[in-house]
Amino acid sequence: MNLYLAALLLVSLPASALAQNQPAPTAPASQEATVSLRTEANLVLVPTWVTTQAGETVFSLSSQDFALFDNGVAQRVTVDDDINPAPLSIVVAIETGGFGRQEIASLGGVETMLEAIIGEQPHEIALVAFDSQPHLMQDFTPSMEAMGTALQRLHPGDHDAAILDTLQYAAGLLQSRPAANRRVVLLISETFDQGSQAKPDDVFQALRSTNTPIYSVAFSTTKAEVHNTLTTPSPGRAKKAKCLQENPGAPPGTCMGYGALGRFLVMASRLGQDDDGSEANVAQVAASVTGGKYLPFDAGAGRKDLEAKLYTIANDLPNRYILSFRPSLTPGLHTLQVAVKGHPELQVSSRTSYWVKETTATEPHP
């Protein structure tokens, strides 16, 4: 899967040239939708951010200011003015398995950050926690009090981090929402997938077909996490674990058992890759191919850096341009490029691809 993601990453990196106690529910059978965020079933939406080289947001651009290319072919673009924004449907997906077990204590401010992200716009939020599988902690609700209660119920899961399976589950949840709603997934996780059964192309196609951007706030594996993994016995095996380090009489909690050794070997393969752009960085790929944003944060800094990244999202969502165009009906992956005409100094970050599935003559296109 890593090699596949490497190839996918190469074709979907962000355009910056001018720029978790309920049982796990069963994921919906169909993960694709044939409608977009708006009521029009045949528009492609392209969330776009424009900033100066100093990082300041550029406002007041119109349709005439943008150049958008679909597989290299210029398109006629419309900019959604969002004067009366459609309701916002958000799935907040939080990793509580894998290395996410160590980050739960940093999530105390998420409720407040969500309030800042939503602002005054009509909304509904669902909370999904995940380890080896997704768990629906709170179904869609407009109540931030209900979300706060659900967040307080988060607890450490198992050793897996099934990011792809969770994104596929989130896509299914969003598919059930009103067609006119805007859809967003906020993913808080590590960068590496561990334990998913879903195939990357199926997941990303489902997300692209519903115009669902992923805002990925991700933490990377550190040396401190390696030490924690080595000195933490596997669940249920603490009393039986044999010590594999030099001092067999070391205090409990400092003895590396066989289960920890196995987890270390997995980590060792991960640490041999780049933290911010590796071939297995599912969090980054998901954000890139869906037109969202990838925001790595320093887990060692605790809650402070996480809050800073969430504030970034709160600022970006209302300040993005929503470009739209009528797509080509040619089946397959389409690559997108967006620029601001006459202003090469501006930084443009936007959705980089969309997917047109093969259809019958009577079946609508996404």
Whether residue 108 is predicted with pLDDT greater than 90 in this model: the reply is no
Name the residue type at position 3.
L
Q: How many CB atoms lie within 10 A of CB 195?
A: 18
Mean pLDDT of 221-227: 47
Whether residue 156 is predicted with pLDDT greater than 70 in this model: the reply is yes
Q: Which residue has the higher pLDDT, 296 or 96?
A: 96
3-state secondary structure of 292: coil
Mean pLDDT of 141-170: 94
Which of 27-31, 66-70, 204-208, 332-336 reaches the highest mean pLDDT?
A: 66-70
Q: How many CB atoms lie within 10 A of CB 308?
A: 15
CA distance 217 to 254: 31
Chain-centroid distance of CA 154 in Å reads 19
The CATH class that applies to domain 2-220+276-356 reads: alpha beta
Q: Which residue has the higher pLDDT, 69 or 230?
A: 69
CA distance 228 to 80: 48
Q: Which pair of structure tokens corresponds to residue 14?
A: 């962000």
Which of 106-115, 317-326, 337-346 reaches the highest mean pLDDT?
A: 337-346
Q: What pLDDT, on a 0 to 100 scale, did the predictor assign at position 207?
A: 83
Per the listing, tokens 């067609």 go with 179
Q: What pLDDT, on a 0 to 100 scale, did the predictor assign at position 205?
A: 82
Pick the range with the lowest mean pLDDT from 3-12, 115-124, 136-145, 274-283: 3-12
CA distance 352 to 286: 11
> How does pLDDT run across 322-363, given as a tens digit for each residue?
899 998 888 888 899 999 999 999 999 888 888 787 764 444
Which of 23-32, 124-133, 280-289 reaches the highest mean pLDDT?
A: 124-133
Q: What are phi and psi of 292, to 5 degrees?
A: -95, -150
Q: Which pair of structure tokens corresponds to residue 24?
A: 């796990």
Q: What pLDDT, on a 0 to 100 scale, did the predictor assign at position 279?
A: 45
Q: What pLDDT, on a 0 to 100 scale, did the predictor assign at position 106?
A: 77
Give the residue extent of every domain in the chain. Answer: 2-220+276-356, 221-274
3-state secondary structure of 205: helix
Contact 70, 57 (CB under 8 A): no
Pick the range with the lowest mean pLDDT from 138-142, 185-189, 271-275: 271-275
Running DSSP on this structure, what letter comes out for residue 192? B
Q: Which residue has the higher pLDDT, 71 or 2?
A: 71
3-state secondary structure of 92: strand
Partnered with residue 66 across adjacent β-strands are: 340
Q: What pLDDT, on a 0 to 100 scale, did the predictor assign at position 146?
A: 94
Percent of the chain exceeding pLDDT 70 equals 68
Q: What pLDDT, on a 0 to 100 scale, did the predictor assign at position 299?
A: 67
Pairing relationship of beta strands 123-130 and 88-95 according to DSSP bridges: parallel
Name the residue type at position 358.
E
Contact 347, 16 (CB under 8 A): yes
Q: What pLDDT, on a 0 to 100 scale, did the predictor assign at position 304?
A: 75
Nearest-CA neighbor of 209 among 18, 39, 33? 33
Whether residue 76 is predicted with pLDDT greater than 50 in this model: the reply is yes
CA distance 311 to 113: 7
Q: What pLDDT, on a 0 to 100 scale, did the predictor assign at position 79?
A: 92
Q: What pLDDT, on a 0 to 100 scale, did the predictor assign at position 136?
A: 98
Q: What pLDDT, on a 0 to 100 scale, did the predictor assign at position 82?
A: 57
Task: State the Rg of the chain over Cα.
Answer: 21
Q: Which residue has the higher pLDDT, 51 or 251?
A: 51
Mean pLDDT of 228-238: 46
Question: Using alpha carbons only, what angle is made at residue 119 by residues 111 and 41, rounded to the nearest 5 degrees?
Answer: 105
Stretch (H or E) spanning 208: helix 200-209
Pick the range with the lowest mean pLDDT from 26-35, 111-120, 146-155, 178-187: 26-35
Q: What's the mean per-residue pLDDT of the chain?
A: 74
Contact 159, 97 (CB under 8 A): yes
Mean pLDDT of 32-38: 33
Per-residue pLDDT band for 140 (boundaries 50, 70, 90) equals very high
Per-residue pLDDT band for 313 (boundaries 50, 70, 90) equals confident
Q: What pLDDT, on a 0 to 100 scale, did the predictor assign at position 328?
A: 81
Nearest-CA neighbor of 339 among 22, 40, 68, 97? 68
3-state secondary structure of 178: coil
> How does pLDDT run across 246-305, given as a tens digit for each residue?
444 444 544 444 444 444 444 444 444 444 333 468 999 898 888 888 888 876 666 777
